[in-house]
Structure 1
Amino acid sequence: MKTLKTIITALLLLQTVVSFGQTKEETIEWLNNNGSTLLNTDIYKQNDNGINAFLQRFEKIKNDTVLYYQSFDCQSCGDKTLDITIDNIPVSSILYQDVNTLVKMKSERNQNIGYFVVRLIPNTNVPTYVSISSYRKEYYRNDKKDKIEFYYQLNNEENAKRVLKAIMHLAKLSGAKENKQTF
């Protein structure tokens, strides 16, 4: 009888703890409402011939996929060139790990930009939409990737971590495997 009471008490406590976690739907809603404003990188660099603008940001979650947007705008490249790339990263391909253990790097091109490296299941098929205005060309390609880099402004690292923590939580809820790579 005492064992039965202990088991019932443990199950009730476990249910209480589990009920406080964000659901998959709540996590997706938070990411879609807040992610693109919290995790973005805008770089504008004036040169002699024009303006180079570079933008990378988390766009949204759609159909269990992380849409990650990158754009390069170069007015000095003859005709105005706009290169847009949208990676479609399957949430289930993200290897779950604590955000504080992610590899963190600084950009070699801009001292105010850093990025977190998020590991994917090796050889993950990442469908990518590409649009290059100077060639008036749009196409899709399938890239095999084992990581994705999430860029952020160095003065905005805490917000970037919040978004990545939500992405990791969503990956875990979607059955992601744990990243057990120590190096």
Structure 2
Amino acid sequence: MKALKTVVLFLALVYTGNSFGQTKEETITWLKEKFEKCLSLNGTVQVSINECQIRITDTDNDVNRYMEYSFAPSDVSGIYRGAIEFNAKTFYISGRMMGVDYDKYQDASKISDYFAGFTIENKEENIQVRIITALKHLATFCPKKKQTF
């Protein structure tokens, strides 16, 4: 009888511990809402998110600008002065801004050249840290590519 109580207690604790974690869908919904609210882009912002890729579009018809930024949640390392920092060597940028067409992968070290104004504004308490935490959590749902060696 004591063993049965121990097993039931153990299962209850495991269930309780797992029930407080956010699901993939909850994380995606939350991130989409926060990006649309807190990104400091000048145009109309649209966000598309899945567990392996984030695509942010910024459209401003008044100045004939359309930019699309694409990166993996796992490539985000943190925030520096409100701007998203990346681990990866590259991220994808395409569109048209100030008469210049972009359609290429860019070196993340030159991010300030292309992401001017692409910051997360402090519209909520600790929102920058919370977004980075959510991105790292979302990255755990992306299946890892199996490599032969």
Alignment gaps of 5+ in structure 1:
43-53, 74-79, 96-101, 106-114, 177-183
Normalised by the length of structure 2, the TM-score is 0.62
What residue number does 2:74 align with?
92
Aligned-pair CA distance for 1:165: 3.5
- Compared CA separation, residues 168 and 116, structure 1 to 2 (3 A): farther
Normalised by the length of structure 1, the TM-score is 0.53
Q: How does 1:55-94 map to 2 (within 5 A)?
A: 59-62=47-50, 64-70=52-58, 81-94=63-76
Aligned-pair CA distance for 1:58: 7.2
Query: Percent same amino acid among aligned pairs?
Result: 25
1:172 aligns with 2:140: yes
The residue identity in structure 1 corresponding to 2:121 is: Q
- Residues in 1 aligned to 2:73 and 2:107: alpha-carbon distance in whole angstroms: 15
Alignment gaps of 5+ in structure 2:
145-149
Query: How big is the alpha-carbon RMSD for the aligned residues of Structure 1 and Structure 2?
Result: 3.9
Which is richer in helix?
2
- Number of equivalenced pairs: 138
- Residues in 2 aligned to 1:58 and 1:81: alpha-carbon distance in whole angstroms: 17
The residue identity in structure 2 corresponding to 1:28 is: I
1:35 aligns with 2:15: no
What residue number does 1:160 align with?
127
Q: How does 1:106-121 map to 2 (within 5 A)?
A: 115-120=82-87
Preserved contact between residue 31 and residue 60 of structure 1 (Cα < 8 Å): no
Which is richer in strand?
1
